[in-house]
Structures are given as C-alpha cells and as structure tokens.
Structure 1
C-alpha cells in the first residue's frame, strides 16, 4: 500500500480514518496487520486510529509473542481497553512448552476488561487450574473452541460454563474421546451456537449424542437462539427436542445435508455467519431426517446446502421439505451438488427446478421475495466453460419460473481443494431472459 508524501495535507483526517476503518473489514489477520503498520508509517496523525485496530484483534501462538504482548500492556496500560478479540493458538507448541498459556490466563482477565471474543485453538491437555483462570474473563460474550482434543465432554462443559455472560458459542473440529455421562450446562441465554465437524474417537451410542447441542438443550438456551449451526446434524438428536424448548426467535435456517458422515472434519467450509446474519444450520447423514420447519414462525431466510446425496432422490425429498415451510419465509437459497456429466447435470437441474417452481407457486408463500439457486460445478470444470453451460441451461427454460423476477439461478465453481489455499469461487447469475453477470471472487 503506497501513499504520496502529500496525502496527509490534502485529505482531511476524518476521511483518512474512514479508510483505515474500512481496511479492518476483510482480509486475513496478517494482511490487516500489514496494512495497519503501513498506515502508521505514513503519517503520525494516523497512528492513534491504526493502533486501535491493531490492538482490537490480537493473535498469540507462542511464548515469545505472549511475553512481548504482556510487556506492551505493562508499559502502556491504556492499550488494554482496545483489545476486543483474543486468539490463543497452541497448534504450533508442544504440550510440554505450553506454560505461557497459563501465564496469559492468570494475567490478562484483570487487564482486558473490554474483551468480547475469546478463541482457543488446539488446546493441549488441560490442567485443572485452566478452568479456574478461564472463569475470570467475565466480559467475554463470544467463545470459540477450535481443534480441541479433550479427554471427555465434561472438560468442554467446564470451559463453557466458565463464562457467565456468554451469548455466542462456536465449537469447530473438536474431539472428545469419551462422551461420558450427561453434564447439565449453565444458565446461559445463548443467541448463537455453531457446532461443526466435532466427533468422538469411540462409536456413537444408540441412545443419543452427548454433544454441545445436547448441553444447550439441557441448559434451556434454545428459546433465546438466533443463530444455530449443527454440522453434522445427527438423526439421534431429535428435532422435537428443539421444538419443545422453543426455537421461536430463529430468523434464518441453514441446512447442510450429507449422504453419509464418518465423524471426521472436512477442514474447510464457507463462513456463513456474517455480521447481521441469524440462523440455524443442520447437517444430516441423509435426507430422510430433515425436519419439518412449519412451526418456525419467525423464520425469514432458508439456506439448504446439499453436499453429497443420491441425485435420484433429491427431488422427491426436496418436495416434501418445501411443502412444510413456514409462511413467513422471505428468502430461500438452495445449493445442489454437481454430477459427473453435463447431460446428467442438465437433467437433474431441470427436475429440481420443476419441483421448486411447482412448490413455491403455492399461494401460502405470500412473503417470498427472493429465491437463489446454485448448482455446484465439479472441480475439473474450467471457469471458462461456465457461461456456455449457463447458456445451455437457460435455453432449456431452466430460469423461466412462474415468477421470473423472483428467481436468481447460477453455478458455483470450486477449485482444487488438495492444498491449503482458499477456494477460488465463481458465481454466475442468470435471470429469466439472459446471463446478467459473471463475477469471480474468493470469500472462504
């Protein structure tokens, strides 16, 4: 990022600060830090605003970083109030050298009085003192547990119950070796729950799954939920259990459907929860367990992401699901998997389209204002082939629904996922007449 030496004399400080604020909206943590350091070097008057953003989100993954951070806070106590998000990452540290974590937990709670979000990444085997120190983060409202490898679910509950003002909880790629007994949760009024690709080392019991979703139901927090992701959604966790506790505040529902699930994490996923989103995410080992959604009277947005299923049964099951939607729905977004050949893809697309169009013409859905439909294109498909495929589908009448202005359809192309790079995603949208746009972006 380059600036002329006269920038500070031409642009008002308020405009420059607005640019700095906008730079914190996207990009990786490293990219944002690089940008803010560049801003600070441009002009001395920009330093106060860049400092706020640099300290707003802190990432610590080693004893050296931890020591420097604590020293900075000791020399400049005023910086403590800037820290709103803290990530403690132990993925690069062996268990025997994780003493710095306990130093942090013992020192930071009394200083970071404005901390809102705390993330634990790949925590090692936990000492009992961890739970004692962790409880001192009384200001934390959002907790993220990523890559936790715990001995039992009890440890997970102990961590969660240590945050009295918790409103949002995310558990991602966590493993506990034994479910153990059922542990009742606290008295939280969670608004957000995101449970993704967690698993047990042992086989799941036939009587139920002792996971975070069970804990939330036992705590009575379901009634306050606004966002909920359960992926995978085990059929042993009955949908009726949620309804009896009252999912009355959900406004957005995200359902991810899998043909089968082996309990292992996929490692990558789309970031669904953006600022302002509220929703429920379910994932099932098959389509047979999709719940009835008709009683969710506050539901406004429905997202169905079918990852991998038998293409011959999608249409019939989708018909059953769409027949029992709440009348409050305003937006529906559907993602379907691609198939092996272009011919089969077109046949499947047409069948699904007829099912959707027939169902949604029902006069009950008077609030419906948008239907977005995407078919995932296989990785071997080249981006340059997408416009031609779209034109072929458009000529067959795929995008000519009963309400042409209501629909937006297209293809979703994901590149090779064999590396650790982000997906390269392209979205091509059509209306009932012609292709309107083809935009490439990376947003995973």
Structure 2
C-alpha cells in the first residue's frame, strides 16, 4: 500500500474513532450515495459519490449504493453493491494494495445487508436517504457527529495534498489550452471542449461545471452557458475551470485580454499583482476575514490608481464602493468538495462565525491552520445591476462612469489560486502547476 495512503487511513481512523467516542456512537455507516431517477423518465442523473465516503475510498468514486462500516478498533468494512444487472456495467471486487486496509464484501440486494448489520450498538448513519436495511434506532446524519468530522476535514492529510496537487497540474493543462483557443478566436463551447481534451476529463469527471465566459459574460459570476458561436469581436476570456484527482478538486480561474496593451489588460495585471501581494500574508494563524478585508483595501487602491474611482481607500471602503466591483468572498476551503464544508465553523462542536454583514458571501471565517487548502480569488467586475445601485448611492459621485462604460463590454476579471497552508507559510498549488507546465507567472 502506498505509504501516503496508509498514513491517510490511519489519520482518518483516529479522527473518526475520537468523534464516535465523543458523541456516544458504537458504529458509523457511510453511504456512497445514489443516482436518482429523473422525473417522468427512466434515466438517472449522473452519480457523484458522497464526499465522506470518498475520503476513505478515493478509488471508488463511481460506485453508488455502497456502504462503509466503521467501528472503533476494527478494520473498516466495505459493502460494495454488485447488482445482477445486464443493462449496465457492474462493479467487481476491487484489487490493489489499498484494499488491504479494508474488509470487502460484495452484495447484490440491499435487503441482504440487514442480518449482517445487526447488533452494532448505537449506530450513526450518514447518507442522503435512509436505506431499507436501517434499524429503527439508527440516527441519520447526527449533527454533533457531523460537525466534528466536518471541522477536522479542513486539515488535509499528506495523501489529500498530493491529490490536490495532481488536480491542479491537470487543470493547468486545460487552462493553457483554453487560453490558446481564445487567442485564435474559438467560441465558448470550443474552448470548453479543448479544455476537456487537455485535461482528459469528460463532463462527469469535472468537480463543477466549467465557467467559460467571453466578453460581457465574464461579468456573470456563475455563467452557466456556452455559446456555440464566437462573438464578432473577442475582448475577454474568463475561465473558471477545475479538475479532479481521486475525488479531490482543483478550482482555478484565469482572465485573458485579447489586446494585451489595452486598459483592461492593465487592470488584469493590476489585480494579479494585488493578489500575489496578498498571498504573502497567507500563513497559519491569519484570520481569513482579515485577508478578505485587506483585499478590498488593495482593490480600492487599484480602482483609484486606474482612475475608475476618485476617492480615497478609506472612503471607498466606508461607502461600500469596492463591493460593487467585488461582490463575492475572497475564497473558501477546498478539498473533496469545491466549496468544502466547515468554512464558518470555529470549533468541533459546530459554533459558527458568520461573515461581516457588509460581506455576506464570504464562505470562510476561520483562522488558517497548517493543512488547510483554500482558494484566493479576488475579482473586479463590471456588473450592470450592481453598478446601477452604486450610481444611485452616495458613492456614485466618485466613480468615473465614462471609463466604466468603456470597460463594461469586457465583463470582468477573476484570478483564483489554490493555496495550501503550511507550518511556515504556504504552498501555491496553482502557480506551481503552471510553472511545471512551463508557464511561469501565468
């Protein structure tokens, strides 16, 4: 067994045994999830395994209706669903060194598990749906247990960090291909398809739906379409696209200008510089809320330096001007889920710290710890609805609206890196991946 994975399993055993003891459970069943049927149809939605299952079994991300039984002091037992089904490819008992960490039993019918799971004692069940074999006294998704597991999941094991590095290396290849396609005039759809080829992913492999926005579409934060026709004039590409490695996600955004000498290209360079400067403060013990506020101050300076806003940094922050250009949070935890769990949790009992009222979309309010992996993703957007509100408020008088109108057709900018916090600073998984691909400073 790969030593990193063996260490990963040992760490998980310690975490889960401790959480079960603290919450008074004797056993825990983790479900892999199901592939639900579409309404009024005989097909199913694409399957995505539950993250708590994948954390233990990252080699089994495409196995619905399976279960992992955890009991303190005993080897984890995998009940792998192997149905008798001639319509679909069915799984076989897995092989490989990693399997030595588990007891593995295959089953065809969920009802057959009922006699195998008797006498477990006080049992917790983490699953979206209650299975047919569940005993009446099992507790489904107990909040106190899940809070403990979610809180500790923020600290990544060595195995998890290696998967996240791999996901970033894969995604970097896709981003490089996307930039090349943009500069030869490809449509959003063609750019997306080129990204899939470069990463060797299909749609189902992606950790989230790629955002491929040209021109004004770059101002739609979660732009969800892909035009087949390229615009008559190519101005901007904003691509927010990831990749997966054993269920762990990369989440990277880059913005490109067709005219590298334009005022918009200068704004991209300015935001990139501000982001890199902020990254120098990413280290253990730093409050992520403070990093978010520092980024708003840096953005205010950029808006002032570029002539977009004629107001001091202090005045911009007091009047909420920067929030009209940068409405989302600076970043979030990253791991098995793109927006990984526990971002507002302050302790294992589930105490929450909500973001400041003036920054409600910030997803991470914890102090950084070694082992955290976070995104750092400032933005500068020209979003019509938000700018209309700014124009009508007291801060609107400080804005150079003529200059804003010239930049509106470019949509906006986002630059997003995936960063692992270390004991003595941080590791930039994203920029390291681009450098390894020969694109230093990309």
Q: Per residue, is there more strand in 1 or in 2?
A: 1
| TM-score bucket of the superposed structures, by smaller chain | under 0.3
Q: Per residue, is there more helix in 1 or in 2?
A: 2
Q: TM-score, normalised to structure 1's length?
A: 0.24
